Structure 1
Amino acid sequence: MNQPIIKDETLNRWFNGYEIADDVRSLREEFLDLHIGRGDVVLVCLPNTAAYPVITQALWEVGAVMHPIAATTPELELQQELDEHEYVASIVGQELVNAALDDRLAIVTALHLQTYPLLHIIRDRQLMGNDARVPDEDDLALIMNTSGTTGKPKRVGLTHGLLLNGVEHDIESHKMTALDTTMVVMPMFHINAQAVSILSTRLSGGKIVITNKFSASKFWNQVRDNGVTWVSVVPTIINILLINQAANANYSDDIRLRFVRCSSFALPLDKLTAFQTRFHTTILEGYGMTETASQCTINPFDAPKVGSAGKAFKTDVEIMVDRKIVHAPNQLGEIIVRGDHVIADYLDPHPNSFKNGWFLTGDLGYLDEDGYLFVKGRKKDIINHGGEKVAPAQVENSLSQLNFIKEVSVIGTPDSLYGEAVTAVVISQGQQAEELERQKIMAHAQATLANYEQPTRIFFVEDYPRNATGKVIRLKLREQVMSNLIRSVG
C-alpha cells in the first residue's frame, strides 16, 4: 500500500495506495452524506487527472454510475446534457461550477483531495437519490458517449460484468503484469483510457502515469523518467512522433517500450515499419469500440499482420453482407460482433444496431483466409462514385504513404456526373508548393489505386473539425468543403 501506483504528471507527483485509499474514503463518505447510491448517475467533467480512478472507485463502492464527458465541453452543451438526463450530481472543476449549477436547486460541496486540490460536487436536490449498495454484475457502471463522427453520439451503458470481462481479455491479450507501467495520453472520458489503460492496469497490479494530454515534445522523456513499459495511442500520435523534431531529439536508445497499442484505423506499412525501427518497439494494432468495453480483435505478439486489426480475441467476429453472415474469406461487408463484453442495447433505442444477438458495428471490413480482420471504414462514409463503392480508408491508406502528407481524410462531395466525387482533404507538412504536392498526390493515386478510387478533388487545410477525442467529424468537414470555407487547390 505504501508503494507508488498512480502518478499525475500535471502535479508531478506519485500517489501510493494509502493516499489513493484515503481519497476514495473521503469521496465515498461525501456521497453517502449526499444520499448518492445504487443506480444514481453522476456526470463527471474533468481533465485527465489522478482523481479519475479515485472518483470511479468511490462511485462504484456506493453503487452509483459514472458518466464522464470532455473537460472542454462548452458550457451550453454541459447545461443541455444536464437538462436532458437525470443526473443526481455532477462533479466539475472550479471553472464550471456556475455553468453546472445554472439556477438549479442544488447543494454545492467543495472537497479537498490529495489527487485533486479542489473538487466540486453539485447535488441536484430535486432528485431523491438511492441508498448505497454494493452493485451487482448486471448493474450499470459507466455511461459513455460514442465518438459521434457521423452523427449525434449514442449513449452506451456498460455494466460491471461487461467491463470486468473486457478488461480481463485486455490483460490476457496484452500479457499485462504487475511489472508493467502504462502512460495515459488519451482522454479519460474515452473507453480506450478507461478500460484498456486504467482498469486493466489496476486489475493486473501495474502502475499508471496520467498526463493531461499527449505532448510530442514531452512524450519520450515521460516514458523514460517513469519507466513506462507500454502505452495506448491512435495512429495520429504515431505520425506526430515520427515527424516531430523535439520528439525525435528526446528519444534515446535506453528507452524500451514493451509495445505500443494502436487502434482507430490501420497504419500504412511504411509508417508502422518506420516507427518500430526508429523507436525500437512493437506496434500492436487492434479493433474495438465503446460498445464492446474496449477491444474485439488484436494482433498476436508472435504473428502480427500489417494492415490488419488482428484476430478475434474472446469475441465472435463475422462479416454480414445483405443482412446475412458470409463465411468465405475476403468478402467485404459489415463487421458484426458478439461476446461477454458486448452490449445488447443502447440506453436509448437503436434497434437497427442489433440482430439475433449480434451487434452491428456500422464498420466495413473483411476477414482474410487466416482470420485476420481488415477494417475499411464506416458504412455511412462509403462514397458512391458512378455506381462504384469507394472506401475512404483505402484511399487514405494509399495517400498516407507520401511523406509530405501529415494527415489525409477522404470524403464524398456532390458531383453532377458521377453522383459523388472522391475528395481528398490534406494536412500537409507545408515544405513545398501545394500545386506540386497536388501533382504528386495524383501521380501516386494513379499508381496505387483503381481509377474510380483516385481523388478528383484535392483540398489543403490547416486542420479538421474534430470531436473531443481528436477524431475527424466527417459531416462537418464535408459541410466546410461544400460551403467554400476551405480553399481549394483542385
Structure 2
Amino acid sequence: MTKLISALKSELMQDQIKPIFQDAETGDWVTRGQVEEDVARLKQRLIENKIGNGDRVLIALENSIFYPALMQTIWELGAIAMPIADTTPGDELRRQIATNQYSAIFVQNKFVSDLSQDLEIKKEYIALNTIEEITFLVNDQLLQVRNQAIQVPIKETDLAMILHTSGTTGKPKSVGLTQELLYNGAIHDRDSHQMTANDTALILMPMFHVNAQVMTLFQMRLSGGKVVIAKKFSASHFWQQVAIGRVTWVSVVPTIISILLLNENAIAQYQEYKSQIHLRFLRSSSFALPLKKLTDFEKQFNTQILEGYGMTETASQCTINPIEAPKIGSAGKPFATELKLVADGKLTDEANVVGEIAVRGDHVIADYLEPHADSFTNGWFLTGDLGYLDEDGYLFVKGRRKEMISRGGEKVAPAKVENVLNELPFVEQVAVIGLPDDLYGEEVTAVIVLKEPKSSKRLVKEEVLNYTEHKLAKFERPTKILFVDKFPRNTTGKVVRPKLRDELLATMVGGNQ
C-alpha cells in the first residue's frame, strides 16, 4: 500500500461520524464513515466490471462531494484517473473515447445515453451517500480479453493521475503524476500552510485541475480537516459559503479576487456575514495579482492574501509567501523545492538576475509521458516562465517564455483554437493571442484576416462564437474577436505575436475594434 492510499484510508477509519465534505449548494455534510462506505461499494462494482491496476478512467464531471470518493476509489484499485473539463463538448468526448484506451468513463448525465449508443459501451448505475445516483460507462470491448480485474501490489512509482497541459504548438503535454508525487506535493502544501485538523477549505476551482485536487483536497485530507465543495465560484454566494461552512482558507485565482472587490452583492453579503467569517487567508496563484487589488482586498475584507507559484508538472506549488513574512508582489519563497534561474545558459540563484525558472524536488516530474527533452536539463524542470530572486530569496515572476494564454486560471493553447477557427470558410488567416484583461488576466483574442470583406463584422463574430461553442471547452473559446488586413511576420513567414499584440494595443479604442 502506498503512502497516499494508506493516509487516505486511515483518515476515513478514524472518528467516522466526523463530517468531512459539505455540498456548498445544499449545505449537507457527509461523514468519513459515509465516504468510506462509498469507496468500498464503488471499488467493488468496478472490480466486478474487471477494472483494476493500470486501467485508465476518464472523468468529465462537475465539482461535487462525489469527486473525492471517486478519486480515492480509483487509486485504491491502482487505476489511473484522467480528469478533464466538465464543459468538454460531446464531439470532443467521442473523439477522446474513440482514440484512447479508457476502461471506465464518468461523464455528465446529458452525454451518457449518446456515448453508450454511439460507442457501444455498457452503462452501469450505482447509488451512494455522496451522490443520489451515478451512471458510468464500462468499455466491455476493451476488457473482454480478461477474466477478472488486474489486482497486483500498487507501487509508489505507479501513475495515479494524468493531466494535460497544453503546449504552444496546440498539442497537449501529458503530465503523469505518480502516487508518490501526489503524496509529497500534498504534504508540502499542508506544511507550508500550517494546516491542521481544525481547518476547513472551500473548493471553487475546477476539480480536474491540480490546484483543486492537490493544493486543496489532498492537503486537507492529509491534515484531517474538512472541505466545502462548490460546483463553481459564485460571487453572490461566496461569503455565505465561507461563513456557513466555517471555512478558514480558500485557494483562488486573481480573477475571483477582482470580482469580489467589484460585485455589489458580494460586498453586501460580506457585511451581513462578517461576524461569522473566520478566514485565515486566501491563497492566490496562476498569474500575478495587481498590487492595488491585493491591498484593497485585504483592507476591505480583513483577510490576508498569500501568493504562490506552481504548476501541474510540480504536483501543485513550488513557492509560497510565508504566512508570518509575506512580501507583496512576490510569489514567495521556495518550499521543499530547489529553484534556480537559467540565465546565459547557466543555472544561478544570484539575486536580481532574470532568467527562466527551473525547479526540482520530490514532487516534480522527471519527464512528460511523451518525452520533451527541451523541458529538462540535468534533473531540472524548465518551467518556461521568466523571473528573478531578490536579496531575501523571494521569487518574482515576470512573464511566460511560452505563448500560452492564461485566462482566469485556465491555460489556453493558441494553436488549438486556431485549428478550430481555420475550419470556418470565411477565415483566410487567424492568430490567437492573449490581450490584457483586468478581471481574467488575459482575453482569448482571435485576430482574423477575412477571405473577402464582410458587410457585417458583428455577424461574423456571432458565427465564430456559435461555431466554437460546439468545438471548444468554455475557457478556450475566444472572448474577443478582432480583424486586421495582414499580420506582422518574420523572414520565415511566421506571425510575430509580440508585434501583433503591440500593434493591436496601440490601435484599439476603448478595448474594442
Q: What is the TM-score normalised by the length of structure 1?
A: 0.80
Match of 1:221 among 237, 240, 262: 240
Match of 2:58 among 43, 47, 51: 43
Secondary structure of the residue that 1:166 maps to in structure 2? helix
Structure-to-structure mapping, 1:306-455, within 5 angstroms: 306-381=328-403, 425-426=436-437
Letter in 2 for 1:229: T
Aligned pair in 2 of structure 1 residues 209, 483: CA closer, same or farther (>3 Å)?
farther
Distance of 1:483 and 1:218 partners within structure 2: 45
Match of 1:135 among 148, 154, 161: 154
Deviates more, 1:121-130 or 1:2-11: 121-130
Asked if 2 retains the 8 angstrom alpha-carbon contact of 1:192 and 1:294, the reply is yes
Distance of 2:315 and 2:394 partners within structure 1: 20
Q: Does 1:232 align with 2:247?
A: no
Letter in 2 for 1:107: K
Letter in 1 for 2:19: P
Q: Residue 360 of structure 1: CA displacement? A: 0.8
2:84 corresponding residue in structure 1: 69
Distance of 1:261 and 1:423 partners within structure 2: 24
Deviates more, 1:66-75 or 1:117-126: 117-126
Q: Residue 5 of structure 1: CA displacement? A: 0.9
Secondary structure of the residue that 2:22 maps to in structure 1? strand
1:194 corresponding residue in structure 2: 213
2:70 corresponding residue in structure 1: 55
2:314 corresponding residue in structure 1: 292
Q: Residue 93 of structure 1: CA displacement? A: 2.9
**Superimposed CA distance per residue, residues 169-225 of structure 1 (whole angstroms, 9 cap, x where no aligned partner):** 000000000000000000000000000110110111000000000000000001001
Structure-to-structure mapping, 1:77-226, within 5 angstroms: 77-101=92-116, 103-128=118-143, 130-146=149-165, 151-226=170-245
Aligned pair in 2 of structure 1 residues 376, 100: CA closer, same or farther (>3 Å)?
farther
Asked if 1 retains the 8 angstrom alpha-carbon contact of 2:260 and 2:267, the reply is yes
Distance of 2:474 and 2:294 partners within structure 1: 22
Q: Residue 425 of structure 1: CA displacement? A: 4.6
Distance of 1:92 and 1:225 partners within structure 2: 30
Asked if 2 retains the 8 angstrom alpha-carbon contact of 1:296 and 1:312, the reply is yes
2:492 corresponding residue in structure 1: none
Secondary structure of the residue that 2:37 maps to in structure 1? helix
Q: Residue 18 of structure 1: CA displacement? A: 1.6
Distance of 1:7 and 1:325 partners within structure 2: 46
Q: Does 1:276 align with 2:298?
A: yes
Distance of 1:301 and 1:329 partners within structure 2: 22
Distance of 2:23 and 2:171 partners within structure 1: 32
1:14 corresponding residue in structure 2: 29
Q: Residue 114 of structure 1: CA displacement? A: 2.1
**Superimposed CA distance per residue, residues 78-101 of structure 1 (whole angstroms, 9 cap, x where no aligned partner):** 112112321111112321113433
Distance of 1:305 and 1:108 partners within structure 2: 53
Secondary structure of the residue that 2:151 maps to in structure 1? coil
2:452 corresponding residue in structure 1: none
Asked if 2 retains the 8 angstrom alpha-carbon contact of 1:256 and 1:280, the reply is no
Secondary structure of the residue that 2:118 maps to in structure 1? coil
Match of 2:40 among 22, 25, 28: 25
Secondary structure of the residue that 1:108 maps to in structure 2? strand
Q: Residue 126 of structure 1: CA displacement? A: 2.3
2:495 corresponding residue in structure 1: none
Distance of 2:485 and 2:74 partners within structure 1: 46
Q: Residue 483 of structure 1: CA displacement? A: 7.9
Distance of 1:299 and 1:427 partners within structure 2: 23
2:509 corresponding residue in structure 1: 489
Secondary structure of the residue that 2:402 maps to in structure 1? helix
Q: Residue 349 of structure 1: CA displacement? A: 2.4
When the two chains are superposed, the root-mean-square deviation of aligned CA atoms in Å is 3.2
Distance of 2:389 and 2:316 partners within structure 1: 20
Letter in 2 for 1:251: Y
Distance of 2:72 and 2:290 partners within structure 1: 39
Secondary structure of the residue that 1:239 maps to in structure 2? helix
Aligned pair in 2 of structure 1 residues 62, 248: CA closer, same or farther (>3 Å)?
same
Secondary structure of the residue that 1:335 maps to in structure 2? strand
Distance of 2:483 and 2:117 partners within structure 1: 37
Asked if 2 retains the 8 angstrom alpha-carbon contact of 1:78 and 1:99, the reply is no
Higher relative contact order (CA 8 A, sep 6+): 2
**Superimposed CA distance per residue, residues 86-144 of structure 1 (whole angstroms, 9 cap, x where no aligned partner):** 11111123211134335334321011122122212211122236512452110011111
Letter in 1 for 2:246: G
Distance of 2:39 and 2:485 partners within structure 1: 50
Distance of 2:168 and 2:330 partners within structure 1: 22
Q: Residue 31 of structure 1: CA displacement? A: 0.9
Distance of 1:156 and 1:480 partners within structure 2: 34
**Superimposed CA distance per residue, residues 403-450 of structure 1 (whole angstroms, 9 cap, x where no aligned partner):** xxxxxx9x9xxxxxxxx9x99555689xxxxxxxxxxxxxxxxxxxxx
Q: What is the TM-score normalised by the length of structure 2?
A: 0.76
Structure 1 stretches of at least 4 aligned residues deviating more than 3 Å after TM superposition: 147-152, 422-429, 464-470, 476-488
Asked if 1 retains the 8 angstrom alpha-carbon contact of 2:259 and 2:439, the reply is no
**Superimposed CA distance per residue, residues 433-481 of structure 1 (whole angstroms, 9 cap, x where no aligned partner):** xxxxxxxxxxxxxxxxxxxxxxxxxxxx9xx9998695x78xx679746
Letter in 2 for 1:259: F
Distance of 1:423 and 1:187 partners within structure 2: 22
Q: Does 1:248 align with 2:263?
A: no
- Equivalent pairs: percent with the same residue? 49
Asked if 2 retains the 8 angstrom alpha-carbon contact of 1:182 and 1:197, the reply is yes
Asked if 2 retains the 8 angstrom alpha-carbon contact of 1:41 and 1:89, the reply is yes
Distance of 1:138 and 1:481 partners within structure 2: 50
